[in-house]
Every structure is written in C-alpha cells, then in structure tokens.
Amino acid sequence: MKHREPPWDAALTAAAGACVLLDADLRVRFATDAAARLLGGPVPVGISAPAWLCGDRPKRPIAEALAAGRPVHGVVPRPSAGAGGRALSVRSLPLHEGARLVGWMLIFGEAARPTDGEVQLFGMWTQDPSMKRMFHILEKVARDDVTVLVRGETGSGKELVAAAVHGLSSRSRGPFRAINCAALPGTLLESELFGHVKGAFTGAVRDMKGHFQLAHGGTLLLDEVAELPLELQAKLLRAIETRAVVPVGGREPIPIDVRIVSATHRALRAEVEAGRFRADLMYRLRVIPVFLPPLRERPGDVALLVDKLVPELNLRSRRAVARVEPAALAALERYDWPGNVRELKNVLAYAFAIGDGPVLSLSDLPRDVLDADAVTGSSPAAEGRADASSPEAARITRALARATGNREHAARLLGVSRVTLWRRMRALGLDEPARRRSSPSA
Ligand SMILES: Nc1ncnc2c1ncn2[C@@H]1O[C@H](COP(=O)(O)OP(=O)(O)OP(=O)(O)O)[C@@H](O)[C@H]1O
Ligand SMILES: [Mg+2]
C-alpha cells in the first residue's frame, strides 16, 4: 500500500486549533485551515510574521517579543484587511530540536470580548491589564497628598487621570484646577500660576489670584509641565517646598494647601538630562510616576470605547446607530491613533455625521483611518516628504496637505489641539526647529 502524508492539518487543528508555524527566521511555513478562517483569509507562506501581524506601527510589543525570542501572549489586530471582527489573541510556543530553536507555533483565538473585564474609573473605560494596574495605583495613592506625575501621549486621558486622583482623595470636595504650561508665554504663565498684585505691571489694575490660590484645599493639575520655562521651574519648586506662593509684584508669601498632579507627554528624565528641566523639581513632582499607555497599545480598548461611545453619541445625534459593521471596527482597531481617545471620539463623531442609517459602516470613516487601513504606514499622499516615514508623520503630512497647510484646520482633522500638532511636528522634525522658550511671545 502506498504511503500517504499524515493529515498534518487535521492533527494540528485537533491539537491547537487556529495555528501557524514559523521557522527560526519568523517566516510563516504552515497554517491550519482553522487559522485561515479565523484570520479572515489565506496565510501567506514565506511572509515575515512580525510584519504580517503588526504592520509597521512604531510600537509592536508582539513583534518585538518574537524578534527577541521571548514567548508571546497578547492581542493583535486581525491582520487581513476587511476581515472584520475583533482583535485576536495570540500565544507563541517555541519549537526546539534538542537545544536548538527551530521555530515557533503561534496559536490564535478570538480576543476576549471587552465586556469580559471592563472597568471604569471616573469616566475612564478600559479592559487593558496595564491600565487596570494603573487604576489600582491611583486608588492607593490618591488618599495621601503625594505628588503624581502622569505621562502619556496627547488625548490618552491624562486630565481624566488627574481628575480621578482628585476625586478619589479627601480633597474631592475642594476645587480641581488645571493649567496648561505649554499654552501661555512665560510672563503670563507666571501670573496665572502665582497671581499678581495690583500695579505689578501695566494692566495689573487689581490683585489677581493665581491657580495655586484658586486650587487651595483641592488639587492643581500642571499640564504639560515639561514645557515650564526654567525661571518658573525655580519658582514652582520654591512654592512646593515652602507651601506658599509669592504673587508677581508681591512680597508676602501666601500659604497654600494644594495637592499637585502634573502631566506631560515627555520623559521628564530625558528633559533633565538635556538641561531643560530641573532635577530637584523632577524629584518633587514624580514621587508617584504613572504611565498611561497609548490607545494603540491597548487594542481591546478600541472596541470597548466604541461600545461605550456609540450610545453616548446616539443621545446627542440625529442618527441612531444600532451596530458597527465588523469591517469598520476592524479598521478602527488597526489604526494607530496618534490622537488617542480624543481622536477616536472625533472619528466617531465624524462617522455619525457623515453616514446615515442604523449601521455605522467602513465608508463612514474619515480618510485618515481608511488610508492607514489600506496601506499601513506608507500612503501615496505622504509623498515628497522623506521624513514622513513613520505612520504618524505620514498622517500629519497628509492632514496638512488636505488642509492646504492651514495648521488649525489640520489639527482639527487630526482631532488634536494646534499646540499638540505643533509639538508633534517638532518632535518628528516636520517643523522648522522652533526656538524654545526664548521669547515670551513664542
Ligand atoms: N479611557 C477613557 N475612557 C473614556 N474616555 C476617555 C478615556 N481616556 C480619555 N478619554 C476622553 O478622551 C478625551 C481626551 O482625554 P484627556 O483630555 O484626559 O487627554 P489628555 O491626555 O489630557 O490630552 P492632552 O495631552 O491633549 O491634554 C476626553 O474627552 C476624555 O474624556
Ligand atoms: Mg490634557
């Protein structure tokens, strides 16, 4: 009798379900039919698994772990465009021959529905384990008056975190004030923070309380604290150490009782190393450092937030959306959200306004999301800019092109503030190097 190939596919499917075998170079060698069904199409043999699974998004924990030879257990967006559905869970098992690593087996499943483990804290929804850990930390530290430093990208919820710290603390009946240190030139910022006395400068026709005094008995959020000019850093440090402020033009220190939470999108330590931020102030501010992961690093959260935001929009809109088409949800999950939750809110508001009927469909989504979906990271619209090589740079360039260079309009398209857009452009080298903090009107 003729020898026949054993039924590998059936055997692997029986043992592991939707699974894909990789060689030691992380190239796909074999996939079960069950995997093709789950992933929404045939799995291309020979393709590099990290690129196939994670595209070329800047942060790719799964791809990085695979490349580093670490076992993986996480969530990835569904790789095949238009497949629809929610994110997938993926687990990797190393395959050894003796001591030699000869490949990997990837086992896929439907990611747990977000409703499985969702939590909410002061309006912040998540099902992401690292966010949940952060919530626990907030609950623990909120009671004491320790200073909290929140780091996170624009729109990721820094202000909500600060509000939660306030709301969970014994100061919750006191005021909560926020001041954006990036939005005002130095001199104005100083009197906004510390107040001024009548006659301190032209136009100071009466005494004015600063945010420190206005937040007395409560919590003060110093937003974008890394942008604080050095002179004001010194004054802030003094205020924290002496628990008192001296208004501009004044002499007498005014005692204040304020809990400080600060926020920044930058690594404060790097700012210290670059000489732009005082080390002593950093240690005062980051007693409890809290990191807010960007939305693209908590994939299940996109679906969860869509579930939460659609009913909210239904209340406020003429359109009643009963359901989000799976392909639309898949596109949202694949997008990398440089403007984070704020951008997601804007994208949904756009989709509500543009489309009709009870099904929110792929065609209701704005170009940015669709373009990124069609060609992850390299859009023809981004041509002509060598530096538009990261998806974020490409998206900004595209928005600027659509807004014919008008930054205010481009910022609206991206769902971020003008200041944020300018900051991101500067960080990505898309802007002429602006002179930092050199002139009060900058
Ligand atoms: N986890 C979340 N669940 C629900 N809504 C959220 C969540 N995170 C943020 N939001 C919403 O997204 C928007 C942006 O959040 P927030 O203003 O706190 O971000 P931010 O990090 O302070 O942004 P920026 O850096 O631009 O100041 C707000 O409308 C906020 O309510
Ligand atoms: Mg903010």
Q: Which domains does the chain have, with CATH numbers?
A: 8-110 (3.30.450.20), 119-291 (3.40.50.300), 297-428 (1.10.8.60)
Q: Residue 433: what pLDDT?
A: 47
For residues 241 and 243, give the distance between their C-alpha atoms in angstroms, rounded to a whole number. 6
Of 61-65, 292-296, 381-385, 407-411, give the lowest mean pLDDT range: 381-385
Ligand 2 centre distance from Cα of residue 294 (Å): 14
155 Cβ inside 6 Å of ligand 1: yes
For residues 151 and 286, give the distance between their C-alpha atoms in angstroms, rounded to a whole number. 10
Residue 413 has pLDDT above 90, yes or no: no
Q: Residue 391: what pLDDT?
A: 67
157 Cβ inside 6 Å of ligand 1: yes
342 Cβ inside 6 Å of ligand 1: yes
415 Cβ inside 6 Å of ligand 1: no
Distances (CA, A) of 52 to 55, 92, 116, 152, 176: 6, 15, 28, 28, 46
pTM for this prediction: 0.64
Q: List the residue whose alpha carbon is closest to atom 16 of ligand 1.
A: 157
- What are the residues whose beta carbons fall under 8 Å from the beta carbon of 78, sequence distance 6 or more? 39, 40, 84, 85, 86, 87, 88, 330, 333, 334
Residue 129 has pLDDT above 80, yes or no: yes
Residue among 189, 128, 126 nearest 160 (CA): 126
Mutate to test the pocket of ligand 1, among 160, 264, 340, 417 (most ligand atoms within 8 A of CB): 160
Q: Residue 389: what pLDDT?
A: 55
Residue 376 has pLDDT above 50, yes or no: no
Residue 261 has pLDDT above 90, yes or no: yes
420 Cβ inside 6 Å of ligand 1: yes
261 Cβ inside 6 Å of ligand 1: no
Q: Stretch 242-268: mean pLDDT, rounded?
A: 96
Mutate to test the pocket of ligand 1, among 127, 130, 156, 421 (most ligand atoms within 8 A of CB): 156
Q: What average pLDDT does the chain have?
A: 85
